[in-house]
Structures are given as C-alpha cells and as structure tokens.
Amino acid sequence: MNKKFFIMAIAAVLAIFISCNKEEKTPEQPTPQITAISPASGLAGIAATITGKNFSVEKDGNVVLFGEAVATVTSASATSLVVIVPENEPGKVSVTVAVGEKVSTGFDFTYEVPVYPAELHSLNPAKAQMGAEITLVGKHFGDDASVYTVLFDEDVAEIKSITDEAIVVVVPETLDEQANVILKKGDEMIPTVQQFTYEFPKTLAMGAITGIIYEAGTDFTVPVENLAEADEVKAVLVGKDGEVEVECLAEDGVLIVYVPAKLKGDYKLKVYVKGCLPVESAAEFAVYYVPQYQLDLTDPDGYIGGYGSGSHKDGVGSEARFNSTSGVALASDGSLWVTTIGGTISNNTGHAIRKVNPTTKEVTTVIEPDVLTLGKTQNIYPYHGAFASNGDYYAACKNGKFMIGKVSAADNTWSVFECTNTPAKYNDSKGINFMNLILDAQDNIYVCDRDQSRILKVNAGSTDVAATIQVKATINGEENNIQINHFVWGKNKEQFIVSGADDLVLVLADMSGNGTVIAGNGLKPHYYDGTNTNNSGTTLNFTDGEPGNPLSATIGQIGGIFYDEADGYIYFNDINSKAFRVLVPGVGGDYTKGAVKTLLGNPSLSASKEGGLSNLGGLVRMSDGSFYIAANKAISKASPVVE
C-alpha cells in the first residue's frame, strides 16, 4: 500500500514538472537606451560613439537613425556603438537605435553648418587704372566683408561689396607698374596671390642722362617730359642686384636725383609717377664710391721716418731715417718691406731694404747698404720688390744690367742674379733699367725694363728670360712703345696695368703687350709759383679731367700702383702731381669711361704743408682700408675718414 502510494506521488510530481516545461516561453528583448552621443554635434561623415545599454553585439543587429537617415555601424557592443554620421541638413535631429522591434527613445544630435576655406581664383579684369573697380573671383567668401583685407602689394584696397563668390574692390593709388593682389581673412592669407597690372592714362618720356659716371653722394638731373612739380614721384636705381630707391626732387620737366652715399655699381634710372607708366633710362651709368682720406704730415705720429730728412737709421717712428723711399711690399706677417735709394756706396748711407712694423712703427734694416751693393762693388738700386709664395723677396735692380735681387725667407741672406738669354735692346741709345717686378701664381717673375719699353718673363727657378713682352699703345693717333715706369697685375692676373714714364698715361695691356690708354692726356702736371724754373707756364696745369673721360686728366710719372681686384679701382701715386689718386672704371668695367679722383695732395702743396706729398713711391693697402705710402723719405699712413 505504501509502495503504491509512493509510486503514485512520484508520477504526480513528474506530471506537474512536464506540464510546467510545456508552458515556459523565450525571454523578451529589453528596449535599447541611449545615454550619450559623442560628439553631440558635427558634420556628416564623422565617427560618433553612442553610449547606452541593451544594444545588439552584432553590428547588423542595430538600426541607427539620424532623423530618417540610416547610419553605418562600424563596431558594436551591448553598451556602445560606433557609427558614421549620415548626410543631413544643418540643424538638430533625433537619433534612435532599434534592436529588433524595440526602439530607443530619441537623443539629439546637431548638424553644424559646414565652413569651407575661401579660395581666390582670378581677377576680373587683371589690368585697370587706379580708382577702377575690379572683382576678386573665387568661392566660399561668405558675406562678411569686415573679416577680409585686400592688398595690392602693401596698399590696402577698399571693399565695395561681397558675395560668396565675388569681392568687388577699388584699385588703390600707387607708383608701381604691377602689384601682387593678396586676400587676407584675419591674419590668414587666402590662396592664391594674383598678378595685377596698372593702366596709366598719362605717359612720361625720359630724356638722355648727360653723365655716364657719378660719384656716390652727389646728384644729377634728367629731363622728364610731362613731369610736373606737383607730381608724386619715386626714383629707383636698377642694378644687377635689384633696385635701390633714391631721393629725388621733381621740377617741371626735370628730375633731380640724389645718389646715395657709399653706393657702387652700374645702374639704370627708373622713374615712377602716380598716374603714369614708369619710364627707365635707355643707357646705364656707373656709380663709384671712394672714401675721403686723411694724412696729417704736420704730426710726427702721422708718418714713420724723418719726413724730408734723409739718411739711414733704424728706430721707432719719426726717430728712424730713410733715404728716398721707393718700393713698398706687404709681407705675410703684416710688416712692410721698403726699398730705399740714395746716398753713396762709400759712406754706407745708400741703397737698402728696410722693414717696418705698422703697429709699433719700429724700423729695422733687412739688408744693409754694404751687403746690398755686394761689398760696395756695385751701385745696385733696388727700386721695387715683391714676395714669392714661399716668402722669398725679389727686387728689381736698376743698375744698367739685367739684375734681380733676392732676400731668402730662410735666413734673410741677399743674393743677386743676372738674367740670361736676354733679348737685344729695342733702343740702342738707351740702357737697361729694371724698375719693378711682379710674380704670378707659379712664382714666375715679370720685370719691367723701362727704357726698352718691355716686360721680361723669367720662369721660377730659372735665370733665363722666357718671354719678352713689348708694350705698345696708341697715343694721339700714333702707336707708341710705352716706357714702363711701374706696373701691376690687372683683373685675374690676365692683364698688366702700366704707367708710362715719359708718356704720362696709364695703359691697360694684355699678356701680349697690346695696350689701351685708359687715363691721361699726355701733358705733364705742374705748378708754377712765379719762382720755380723747372716747369713752364704760369698757371696750375693739373686736373682730374671730366668724369666719364679720364683721358682728359693730367697724369705724371707714377711711383706706385695698387689694383683692387674686388671693384677694379686703380690707386696710384702720381710723382709729378704730388698726389695720391684713383682711377675708377665706368659701365661694364670700361676705364676709358671712368673717372680720375685725387684723394690727397696736388702740385701746389709743398712737402712741408699738411697734405703735401713729394718723391712718391710705392703704396700698399691694409685690411682696414688704409694705405701706407712711400713719400718724402718716410712711410705715411693715409686713413679713410670715418663717415
């Protein structure tokens, strides 16, 4: 009985369990909820993250709507969806997420108005007169003119109107012919810059500039047709390195142009007048600058040596004594080597080679007179010398022989050699007189034989004359053999700059000796004071000539030349003129179109007066721009005046 009851109870429980299982259903999907969208505003195409719960973990199990636009779901989890914001009009929309039949309540997302960068495409028209209205064509300008600035180079244009694709402006006044039109939004420049050309109702006509060379710091005039005194004018000098704006003064039909100080180079003049097309000079002209030099010979500190009192004595400053100072050469250690001539062999006061320390003004003797004259056996004149690359010093010896002297850099010993394989004389009535020598980059020696009008080349390490260069030039319509008193290298050591002893000219010669007179009229400069009898005439015959025509200058015998490779200026000591002078080239380096300028001295000044120079010899330029000049039995320093 009990067993039967137990079985029936078990059966009843199983029946209830089975009945319950039959009635069990699938759980209902919870409704998705949105708690945040990041970002909550933006443009179509950006990625947005929707945070919440009850999302499908499958990307395709979620339908996300921005308004009525379906967003693409790129990743999904139960609490986060990343979507790409679909296209919609600007403004606020409701965002919903549907999972199956369950849809979340809406969450706001705001579409922003898209802002596109402004673009400048063109000008319409791109050529117009000042005051005309032109249109800047582009897109995305907007409608707020206050945020824009329109520049014609540096001139601000007035904005008349603006649309999203056009800005109308008034062409500003200017003196220029063209301008870059620049559109700026705030501090930002809008691409791209456009080129504008001005049209001018009035035409200028520039006459010929009368001069072909001007000194910096001076002025010149040029006729300009249709130029009025009231016109607003800008003048510029146009050179190879660009334009230099200069001061000018407009008068009716004439423009006065002021050349800036310290300017050098070849230029054209360009004139801008408001309301007119700019005009430019047809021809170039040269501008040169040479500083003013000072030389106080009344002050013992202004020179080294006795200054007019000649003998042979070492010492410091004015305590030292020279016989006539001839050549000056700059050594690699900054010292000056000076050749002196004069005195006699017998009393040991004659020719010597001296050394000057420019800093301490100490004068020492390198080669004593008795050593120089080979034990008083030969009257050797060491006129001018130069240094070889190894420091050896060579001197041209004026003694009627083909003789060159040498001071060894190793031990300061003196030796001489007589040139071999020498050419025959050009002029049998005159002797052999070596006046000066120079060396090329290979240390070949070039020595000038004054009275035979030639330059002899002696190869390095040899005594043989390897070449003879007869120097000729046409003077007053006739070809002359030039008696070479002094010479130096010209440009790139491919030319000779030669002074004529009796020809009274400067000559530029090629390596074959073909020369061109570049300065001097062949007349000897002099001054007659009523008592001296060595010069004819009763007036001062001394002139720098006309600028642009250095052949109108009077040039005497020259004691020394310095060539400035940088700008082509030729500085020289004029013995007859008692002056330190310079020849500057004209346009394109043409010396015949250049100018001669006297920097210190003139024939009317005696050696005892301030600025007077006599017995002029060589010269060298130092790194500070000053010159050391052999003059008046001393070495004097000519310094540029600080401006």
Between 93-97, 512-516, 582-586, 608-612, the lowest mean confidence (pLDDT) is in 608-612
Within a domain: residue 28? no
* Alpha carbons 111 and 106: distance in angstroms, whole number: 15
CATH at 137 = 2.60.40.10
Please give the backbone phi and psi of residue 572, each rounded to the nearest 5 degrees, phi first.
-150, 150
Last residue of a domain, one of 93, 111, 129: 111
CATH at 509 = 2.120.10.30
- Could you tell me if 425 and 494 lie in one domain? yes
Let me know whether 88 and 155 are in one domain. Answer: no
Residue pLDDT, tens place only, 352-402 = 999 999 999 999 999 988 888 776 677 788 899 999 999 999 999 987 789
Closest CA to 591 of 446, 492, 491: 491
In a domain, 441, yes or no: yes
Identify which has the larger pLDDT, 610 or 241. 241
341 & 465 share domain = yes
**What is the rounded average pLDDT of the residues 229-241?**
90
pLDDT, mean of residues 557-573? 96
pLDDT value at 587 more than 80? yes
pLDDT at residue 94 greater than cutoff 50: yes
**Confidence at residue 300, expressed as pLDDT on a 0 to 100 scale:** 66
Average pLDDT over residues 212-230: 92
Give yes or no: residues 312 and 408 share one domain: yes
Do both 457 and 557 map to the same domain?
Answer: yes
Prediction pTM value: 0.75
CA distance 246 to 233: 11
The residue among 288, 304, 328 that closes a domain is 288
pLDDT of 531 strictly over 60: no
Same domain, 281 and 353: no
Q: Average pLDDT of 94-115?
A: 93
As a whole number of angstroms, the distance between CA 492 and CA 179 comes to 42
pLDDT of 258 reads 97
C-alpha triplet 561, 563, 564: angle, nearest 5°: 145
Residue-number span of the structural domain to which 192 is assigned = 119-199
% of residues, the chain, pLDDT over 70: 89
Q: What is the CA 109 to chain-centroid distance, rounded?
A: 63
**Is residue 389 a part of any domain in this protein?**
yes
Residues 283 and 370 occupy one common structural domain: no
pLDDT of residue 525: 84
Question: 535 and 481, same structural domain?
Answer: yes
pLDDT exceeds cutoff 80 at 327: yes
What is the rounded average pLDDT of the residues 439-464?
96
Q: Tell which of 175, 199, 223 closes a domain.
A: 199
> Are both 603 and 538 inside the same structural domain?
yes
Regarding whether 257 and 385 lie in a shared domain, the answer is no
Q: For the range 121-124, what are the long-range contacts, defined as Cβ-Cβ under 8 Å and sequence gap of 24 or more?
A: 121/192, 122/194, 123/181, 123/194, 123/196
Q: Are the CB atoms for 449 and 481 separated by under 8 Å?
A: no
Does residue 322 form part of some domain? yes
